Amino acid sequence: MMKMMLNSSQVSHFTLAAYSDPGLFKYVIFLILLCFYVLIIVANVLLIVVICMNRSLHEPMYLFMCSLFVNEVYGSTGLFPALLLHILSDVHTISAVFCYLQIYCVYSYATIELFCLTVMSYDRYLAICRPLQYHACMTSRTIVLLIALSWLFPLLAIIVLMMLTLHLQLCGNVINKVYCGNYSIVKLACSDARVNNIYGLVYTMISIVFPLILILITYVRILKVCFSGCKQTRQKAVSTRTPHLASLLNFSFGCLFQIIQSRFDMSSVPNILSILLSLYFLTCQPLFTPLLYGLKMSKICTICKRLLCGGR
C-alpha cells in the first residue's frame, strides 16, 4: 500500500511515541521535573540578577557567564512546559507549529551553549596567557560583538535548517521521542533529504567541531603557561578553568548521548534509559552550570550569600 506523501508544512500534528503510561507514578515524575524546572529558573535568574546589579561583576568573564545563564533559561523554557504537560496528558500529540518551535529552541540553545563556552574559553586564554594585552583586546565593543555572534549565528543558522525541513515530503508523523527533534522529522521523509544532510554536516562542523577545536587550542596553551608559570598563575588558572571544564564536559556528554540516540538504533536500550539520556543535556546542564559557577566563583558566591542573607 502506497504511503501518503505530505509536505512537512502540511502536517498538522506529530505524535510523540516515546511516552508510556506509568499510571499514578506519572505524578511523581511530574513533581520531580517541576522541581528541576523551578530550580533551573531560580538558580539562573538569581545569578543573572546578581551579575547585572553589581558593578563589581561587570567584567568580561562575568558578562559571558550572564549570557550563558540567559541561554539556560531559554533552553529550559523551550522544553519543560511541554514536557510537563505531556506527562500529565493521556494524548501525546503536538501541533506542527509548536513542534517546529521546540526544535528551533532546543537546537539554537545547544549551539549558543557551545558558542558561549568557546567565548569564555577565549576570554580565559587572554587573561592567563596574555595578561598585559587583555584589556586592550577585551574591550566593551569586543565583548558585545562576541556575545552578539554567540547568539545571532545559531538563531539564523537554525532558521535555514528549519526551512529545509519544511520542504521535505513526509510519509508519517510519529516521532519516537518525548520532544521534537529535527533529525526525527528528517527520518520521516519520503523525498530526497540529501540537501538536509549536507547542510546538517556543514552546520555540525561550524557549530560543534570548530568551537571544540578552538577550546582545545586554548586549553593546550593555558596548560603550557600553567606548567611554566609560578604557583599564583597555576592557582588562577585552576580556579577559573575548573567550572568551565566541568560545564563543557557535562554538556559534551549530553550532546553525545543525544547524537547516539538520534543516529543509531536504540531499540535494545530500555525505554526509560533512552528517555533519560535524550533529556540529559536539556535538564542537567541548565541546573549544573549555575550551581557550579555559583559555588566555585568566590566573588559570585559571596554576593549571593549577602543577597540571600539580607545584606549580612
Q: Quick check: 241 and 125 in contact, CB under 8 A?
A: no
261-297 per-residue burial string, b: 16 or more CB within 10 A, e: under 16: bbeeebeeeeeeebbebbbbbbbbbbbbbbebbbebb
Domains of the chain: residue spans and CATH:
6-308 (1.20.1070.10)
Helix (H) / strand (E) element for 43: namely helix 25-53
pTM to 2 decimal places: 0.88
- Give CA–CA dist 246/292, Å, rounded: 8
Q: pLDDT (tens digit, 0 to 9) for every residue of the chain, 312 residues total? A: 344 555 555 678 898 887 776 677 788 888 988 999 999 999 999 899 888 888 888 889 889 999 999 999 999 998 899 988 888 887 888 888 999 999 999 999 999 999 999 999 999 888 888 888 888 889 999 999 999 999 999 999 999 999 999 888 888 888 888 888 888 888 888 888 889 888 988 988 888 889 989 998 988 888 887 777 666 666 666 666 677 788 888 888 877 777 777 666 666 666 677 777 778 878 888 988 888 887 667 677 777 777 666 655
- Give CA–CA dist 48/300, Å, rounded: 11
